[in-house]
Amino acid sequence: MQERIDQLINSFRSSFWIEEHQWFVRCLTVKKTIYFYNLPSSFCICENKLPDLWRSTYPDDNQQEFYNNITTIHNEIFFNQLILPEIRLRNINDLHIRLPINDQFWLIVPSLERLSSLNISYHTDHFQSQLQALLDRAPHLRYLCIDQDQSLPLQISLFKYTNKSVREFNLQNYNYSFDEEECMRLCHSPLGIQCQILFIHVKNRQSIIILVKNMINLQVLHIKCNDEMFNKQSTSNENNNEQFYDENIENNDDLIQWLKDHLPSTCLVVKDLHSTSLIRIWI
């Protein structure tokens, strides 16, 4: 692999690239994957480790310059590895991270000024202070997604978090269906009051009405509903996938018509073309 990398890099060291056009390239390896791209360019980390090897045709290129160009970390356990203490990731705008957060993270990521999208895994009340600390350091955060383990009940801290810039709140992977009372609590929570785009899973259709009527800044609702009729159908048809699929669609169509009848005429209700259980409402 190293020989192959050297061949790639050397092919871009000619005067055509370096002198005439001043086009520079960088080559990295993570595990057994080679990443080859032009400079300057941002970099996304989807693996759970930093590069094993890197080469560059830019004469002033260095490792810190590479770390400055890392804008996305899509691996939630990336910070669980041992990272050299001199490394700094200063320009993260899209971060996936698993709770709890270790002390190493705060050293390596000294600023979250550029963070606009945050995905949190394994959320529990026990880690409330850590998540709030992340939110406090991210003044330009717009999108927040929170997941929790399927075995856990609803975590009360969800209704207490604050961040003035969050406008998109994704709870669809939270592994929990919200009932009417919980939806009302969400509507009056700090993040619920300012939310414009919400992704959520609810227990019944009345919960949808509560969200639309009480979330004062809501513009778009992406929703999955455990409707009572749907639950009966899924039980009776669990051994017949094709029939279940057809009745799932029929039930969803019934729910859409019910929502059209009970929501203001200014709401547009449609089903998602790629998912039989997902409904979208524009307000």
pLDDT digits (tens, 9 = 90+) for 264-274: 999 999 988 87
Mean pLDDT of 220-232: 74
pLDDT tens track for 189-222: 999 999 999 999 999 999 999 999 999 999 999 9
pLDDT tens track for 134-144: 999 999 999 99
Mean pLDDT of 50-55: 81
How far is the C-alpha of 221 from the C-alpha of 35, rounded, in Å? Answer: 38
With a cut of 60, say whether residue 239 has pLDDT above it.
no
Mean pLDDT of 7-17: 91
Q: Which residue has the higher pLDDT, 182 or 254?
A: 182
Task: For the chain, report the end-to-end CA distance as a whole number of angstroms.
Answer: 54
Mean of pLDDT over the chain: 87
With a cut of 80, say whether residue 48 has pLDDT above it.
no
User: Which residues, 6 or more positions from 30, have their beta carbon under 8 angstroms from its beta carbon?
Assistant: 45, 47, 49, 50, 51, 52
How far is the C-alpha of 204 from the C-alpha of 73, rounded, in Å? Answer: 36
Dihedral angle computed from the Cα positions of residues 50, 52, 55 and 60, in that order, rounded to the nearest 10 degrees? 50
Backbone angles phi, psi at 138, to 5 degrees: -120, 80
pLDDT at 233: 46
pLDDT at 231: 45
How far is the C-alpha of 207 from the C-alpha of 28, rounded, in Å? Answer: 49
Cα 72 to its chain centre, rounded Å, is 11
How far is the C-alpha of 126 from the C-alpha of 121, rounded, in Å? Answer: 13
pLDDT at 60: 81
Share of the chain above pLDDT 70, in %: 90
pLDDT at 229: 47
